[in-house]
Amino acid sequence: MQTRLTPKDQLKPKRLKGISDQQIEYHFETHYKGYVNKINEIWEVLQTVDRSKANQNYSNYRELKVEESFNWMGVVLHELYFENIKDGQGTKPGEEFMEMIEENFGSFEKWREDFKACGMALRGWVVLAYDLSGKRLINNGLDAHNLYAFLNAIPLLVLDVYEHAYYVDQGPRRLPYIEAFFENVNWEVVNRRLKSAVRAYS
Ligand SMILES: [Fe+2]
């Protein structure tokens, strides 16, 4: 059985460009920690739920497994997102990253354009991922934490586009938030994730 999860407070970013500390505070403390609390609750109930009554139309076991997927992915995606933004440290995409981006998207600008379009078109997340099946980089848009994610792909750069990620600062304007996100990407983290993903492939 799963052990109890504790929130990763060290991942909370501060003093970002164009994304206020208040915005991050609500997002981190209420939304992210809300998923941590719920996944712990679900794992607790899963220990004793009656598996003999599992049923695809309706059963307690089914409901728990569905919400486990929503809340666990809520934890994972938020941790990846908060980890890959940092206050203007001037980090840069690595050589390996740039080569793969150019090979898969034509140029860094073309990739960024597509990533941004994904962020405007989907309702929850954009994930630049290393696809282990095709050995390529892909932009994956998600409508919710557990909806439309490509399997067998490792997340490299994660952007939260839920309204709760920008409403404090931007109201309904999502595009300036996405622009601000790019000002704060911690490329060191992205470069490290790419190295691990390539290792996983080989
Ligand atoms: Fe979020």
What spacing in Å lies between the alpha carbon of 141 and ligand 1's midpoint? 14
What spacing in Å lies between the alpha carbon of 163 and ligand 1's midpoint? 8
Q: In terms of residue numbers, what domain contains 171?
A: 95-201
What spacing in Å lies between the alpha carbon of 113 and ligand 1's midpoint? 22
What spacing in Å lies between the alpha carbon of 22 and ligand 1's midpoint? 14
**What DSSP string describes 92-150?**
---HHHHHHHHHHHSSHHHHHHHHHHHHHHSSSEEEEEEETTTTEEEEEEESBTTBSPP
Residues 99, 156 share a domain: yes
Residues 136, 45 share a domain: no
What spacing in Å lies between the alpha carbon of 40 and ligand 1's midpoint? 18
Give the pLDDT confidence of 69-85 residue by residue, as tens digits: 999 999 999 999 999 99
Count of structural domains, the chain: 2
Residues 67, 104 share a domain: no
Q: So what's the pLDDT on residue 155?
A: 98
Residues 175, 123 share a domain: yes
pTM, entire model: 0.96
- Gap between the Cα atoms of 8 and 182, Å rounded: 23
The residue from 62, 83, 104 where one domain ends is 83
Give the pLDDT confidence of 147-177 residue by residue, as tens digits: 999 999 999 999 999 999 999 999 999 999 9
CATH of the domain at 177: 3.55.40.20
Residues whose CB is under 5 A from ligand 1 (ion)?
Answer: 31, 160, 162
Give the pLDDT confidence of 80-134 residue by residue, as tens digits: 999 999 986 679 999 999 999 999 999 999 999 999 999 999 999 999 999 999 8
Q: So what's the pLDDT on residue 64?
A: 98
Answer yes or no: are the C-beta atoms of 128 and 157 closer than 8 Å: yes
Q: So what's the pLDDT on residue 87?
A: 83
What spacing in Å lies between the alpha carbon of 48 and ligand 1's midpoint? 30
Of 180, 202, 198, give the one whose Cα is nearest residue 97. Answer: 198
Q: So what's the pLDDT on residue 200?
A: 84
Answer yes or no: are the C-beta atoms of 157 and 165 closer than 8 Å: no
Please state, rounded to an integer, the average pLDDT across all residues of the chain.
96
